[in-house]
Amino acid sequence: MTGVSGASTPADYFDGMYRGTSDPWDLAGRWYERRKYGLTVASLPRRRYRSAFEPGCSVGVLTSLLAPRCDRLLATDRVPAAVRAAADRTRDLPQVDVERLTVPAQWPEGRFDLIVLSELLYYFDDIALREILDRTVESLEPGGTLVTVHWNHPVAEHLRTGTELAPLLTSVPELQTLTDHRDPDFVLHTFARRHPDGRPVLSPAAEEGLV
């Protein structure tokens, strides 16, 4: 993994972002975010998921869009204000649980068939990023889906852009790349956890016998 300068973004940065505002990045208002979330959800190769995990859920805008595709969705964030906002946004979605949790130091038990890492990985240094990817692979069921999407412009608090994260993600041996979308503003990938016996994970068309 290519080294980066500086340590992971400190916790007080996130606390400060939520101080005095309920949605510091205007995730619920900007057309950019609505379009990106639409593409994120559209990239999911399965119609429905049994158990999903979304760390770094912020105020729960993407959470609310993922929920109709999931039997159970665990959404987490490290900032109490974000957890409260996400819980309020999803209060009418009984399949959603919102909890305070800090990755990678804390990680939920169990296995998931969907993990969504949205606007998260660029905050972490090499060691923490490797731990998150290792925990993601360990938690993801064979054939399960991993979605990653990240802003692709330099930001002082970000250690990498979406383009710089891409080769690190696509080189994880346990992950099979399904979608590689390069937008001018963000990079979106969907991956599948490879089957232990080496069988490829089928595309949606192959699953339905179209190819």
pLDDT at res. 72: 98
pLDDT at res. 3: 46
Burial of 85 per CB tally in 10 Å (0-12, 13-18, 19+): buried
- From the list 87, 139, 131, the residue with the least C-alpha distance to 115 is 139
Collapsing DSSP states into helix, strand and coil, what is residue 135? Answer: helix
Q: What is the mean pLDDT of each run of 10 residues along the chain (211 residues)?
A: 57 66 73 96 97 97 98 96 96 98 96 98 96 98 98 95 98 97 97 93 94 92
**Phi-psi bin for 96: left (phi > 0), alpha (psi -120 to 50), beta?**
beta
As a whole number of Å, the CA-based R_g of the chain is: 16
pLDDT at res. 154: 95
pLDDT at res. 19: 66
Residue 121 corresponds to which tokens in the numbers above?
Answer: 């990985």
pLDDT at res. 28: 75
pLDDT at res. 5: 46
pLDDT at res. 24: 67
